[in-house]
Chains A and B, each alone.
Chain A
Amino acid sequence: SGGVGALAQWVLVELQGEVEPRQSGDLAGSLLGDLHYTCEGVPVLIVGHHILYGKVVQLEKPFAVLVKQGGAPQPGPAGPHGHYTVTALIKTKLLFKTRPKPIITHVPKKV
């Protein structure tokens, strides 16, 4: 259900490929990267050794973020069963589709 009171507005960040933590173990709590915007409004994401350039897209079809109530098995192919609450709406996404530019760290000269 939507519920009373304004729904939070979140943003979707769309990246190519998969996200893996640098260290083995849970993703929870670990850093992804820094998100900047150029003065022209182009999003720039620095993830690990990569720079990603993206664009701000207003979604033609917004998303609702559903949170399952009372923890349960993953939704199966027949459909999500159980109670869900709409936690937030997403009307904007930051789409990073360009090939990541690797950051070449400066190698110190041997003396």
Chain B
Amino acid sequence: AAMRSRAEVDATLQTAKLNPAELLPAVHCLSFGPQAGGGECCLLQLEPGLCAELEAGHSLVIRGEKDEHAVLCSKDKTYDMKIADTSNMLLFVPGCKTPEELNADPASCNIIHSQIAGFSNNYWELRRCRPKLKKLRKLLMEDPYDGPDSQKEQTSSFSKYTTEDLLNLIQASEEEILHQLQVIDACKIEGYWRILDFDYEMKLLNHVTQLIDSESWPLSKVPLCACLEELGSLEPREMIEHILVSYGRKYVDAGEIFFEMHEDKTCRAIAQMLLQNAVKFNLSEFEEVWQQSVPEGMTTRLDQLQGLALVDKSSRPETISLLKVEDLPEDNQERFNSLFGIREKWTEVDITPYIQDLCAEKQTVGALLTKYARSSMLNGVKVYNSRRPIS
């Protein structure tokens, strides 16, 4: 289409009975650009902070496979994406100036021919969400590492995942993924992220605790070098160091590296090892065996088992069984359905470790309970049960 001339613009103003004296001298003649109808452009509404991130040159990534709802990831946050419809038409115009910009630049051109790059009647809205990290553990559990001598390791053709692979498959930001890898004690073996097979992990831990015992080292000062020397013939050095890093706090003293062993984490792992052998245990018997099984100098406490084991105080005798929060569904409603299927009524104290991870930014456990559960009183204690009838 031919470009409009000043004369044509002025004629239109006259027809419209607008007084040029009341208008700024510059006019934008808007036309649709060649790509305008193509639908390749879309709008994304930015949450606070994202605009600044983009302007600083950082990337945003949309992640999700065909069967997943797409999420948007910044460097360290994850957002759900949802289409918002508007009844209006939104046109995106490059090079269109605001009155301020025109006034600030008196030499600005009299006619600005602006091409509309695209238009839409909807846009993508973002809502901050919990990173979808359950899949990370699931992927790594496809092929847990159980030592270099394992037959499985020699012949295995299972998928193994590099950092790049995980970034492509997990709906979370890079920082959230790397943090979670640390939380689950994953380690990199030959460039691939691996999770240890639990029995192998306990074998490694046992080597270390036995050595601590035989050398009479204080639990707060376990020397790395000596461990590697003594145990290096039994297991790969990287694995020995990995188990120390997983179960201890690393520090340097007089130029030497030491580890302060985590009492809670060690006791918890040993409890898991004991509990996974049966469906249910007599609580007092378990507590006795458990204390005897942990390294000398460590004290077991039931609160170390939050999110790992469930105590039934209503049965006689009282019992304890394994229930790992990471085995439960990731979706809020499914998680609650699952928990109410396991036990009809829960106290807040008992259920909290199993729903804590569902809390969104600034959301409390109380808010979740209000939303997904119904409360009642049982023997003077407040309990929560399902909102829906259990089938």
Contact = CB atoms under 8 A, between A and B. Distances in A.
A61 B47 contact: yes
Nearest to B3: A31
Given A65-B117, A89-B54, A103-B16, A35 B27 contact: yes
Is chain A's interface secondary structure helix, strand, loop, or mixed overall? strand
Interface string B49-76: 0110111111111101011111100000
25 contacts: A2-B58, A6-B55, A11-B97, A13-B96, A26-B37, A27-B36, A27-B37, A31-B29, A31-B31, A32-B30, A34-B29, A36-B27, A37-B26, A51-B16, A63-B43, A63-B44, A63-B45, A64-B46, A65-B44, A68-B42, A86-B60, A88-B94, A90-B92, A92-B98, A94-B96
Contact of B35 (A16, A28, A30, A41): A28
Contacts of B41: 65-68, 87
Given A32-B30, A64-B60, 12 more contacts: A13-B90, A14-B86, A15-B89, A19-B91, A29-B34, A32-B91, A34-B29, A35-B96, A36-B18, A77-B83, A78-B70, A87-B41
Nearest to B116: A32
Contact of B62 (A18, A67, A79): A79
A94 B71 CA distance: 29
A29 B28 contact: no
Given A12-B93, A15-B91, A41-B100, A68 B40 contact: yes
A108 interface: no
Contacts of A44: 18, 23
Given A1-B59, A51-B16, A14 B46 contact: no
Contact of A38 (B24, B54, B96, B116): B24
B32 A29 contact: yes
List 10 A-B pairs, minimum CB-CB distance, nearest first. A79-B70, A1-B59, A41-B99, A11-B96, A35-B28, A32-B30, A13-B91, A2-B54, A64-B44, A37-B99
Contacts of A28: 32-37
A19 B72 CA distance: 31
Contact of B42 (A3, A16, A66, A89): A66
A65 B36 contact: no
Contacts of B18: 36, 44, 46, 51
